[in-house]
Amino acid sequence: MDSPTINDDLLSAALAKVKELIPVNLLPPTVAIVCGSGLSTLGSAIEDAVAIPYADLPGFLTSQVEGHQSLLVFGRIGTKPVVAMLGRFHVYEGHSVAQVTLPIRLFSKLGCKNLILTNAAGSLNPQILTGTVVAIHDHLSLPNMTNFPTAYFLSKPPHYSRTLRKHLFHSANALKLSPDTLAEGTYCWVTGPTFETATEGKFLQSCGGDVVGASTVPEVLAARQEGMEVLALSLVTNMVTLSYGGAIKGERIQEMEDVVSHSEVLSMGLARAETVKALVVAVIQAI
């Protein structure tokens, strides 16, 4: 993996392209939103929308992952100018951390001060069930414990805005969502794209992890370096398998019914997309 260095030329070119294509009344965005797997329907909340395909933006990559549309959409939610990434880039697609986080740095250069990240994640916590929206209050970066180049600057905790989380929980109350709709927890970042083995899941759980996924943390670190306030939400799309059912003739086997697929992740994302959208819209209106 390439060493994570910012490409200032690409960043400047992307900034110039956005300013060329986007009306001045939609700049700067108050909030930037990154939509995770199956959650691109968040874009339907944006009015006066102007979309730019990633292919037209210097430094932007086209996501190869199903459920990611590869569009950058500017517009308004209520009275607030916003920008939304309908689909993100992942390091498991072969990209460097610098490439994955270039959009976040673009948002900062545009003058955006708030970032809302969403992702689909597996639950390690038996009390956090599928369909729950988890407000991330801390993270565990497994790649950070290896030689994987995750950051090249000092990032001082806390990384996740307490103020934005308060807006989130107040919004959930105002929307009269059931108490089990929303939780708080620690997100474990793994590089992916494979799902965790039972042993890996138990290890992450023992380290204090509540949910696990293959994105978000690089974007959080870049946003905090840029001085942005961050709200990160995980939609629990599956329960991580923590046991394969014991030994048969001394060998451990995986029961096929325990295997989760990306299509199931997308289905859960679509099923709960309206709830996530309502929460994100309410938080933006509260900022």
CATH number at residue 73: 3.40.50.1580
Q: Is the pLDDT of residue 19 over 90?
A: yes
Question: Cα separation of 50 and 67, whole Å?
Answer: 20
Assign 32 to helix, strand or coil.
strand
* Residue 226 is assigned to a ligand binding site: no
| Total structural domains within the chain | 1
* Residue 219 or 194, more confident: 219
Contact (CB, 8 A) for 116 and 146? no
Residue 250 has a pLDDT of 52
Residue 3 in any domain: the answer is: no
Is 243 annotated in a binding site? The answer is: no
SS3 (DSSP) at 122: strand
Full domain range(s) for residue 36: 8-14+24-243+251-286
Is residue 90 a known part of a binding site? yes
Residues 6+ apart with CB under 8 A from 33: 42, 82, 83, 84, 85, 115, 116, 117, 118, 280
Flag whether 1 is in a domain: no
Q: Determine, yes or no, domain membership for 146.
A: yes
2 part of a folded domain: no
Average pLDDT over residues 89-106: 92
Q: What is the mean pLDDT of the chain?
A: 88
Structural domain contains residue 57: yes
Q: Is 263 annotated as a binding residue?
A: no
pTM above 0.75, yes or no: yes
Would residue 223 count as lying in a domain?
A: yes
Any domain includes 51? yes
Q: For the residues 49-68, what does the mean pLDDT come to?
A: 85
120 is in an annotated binding site: yes
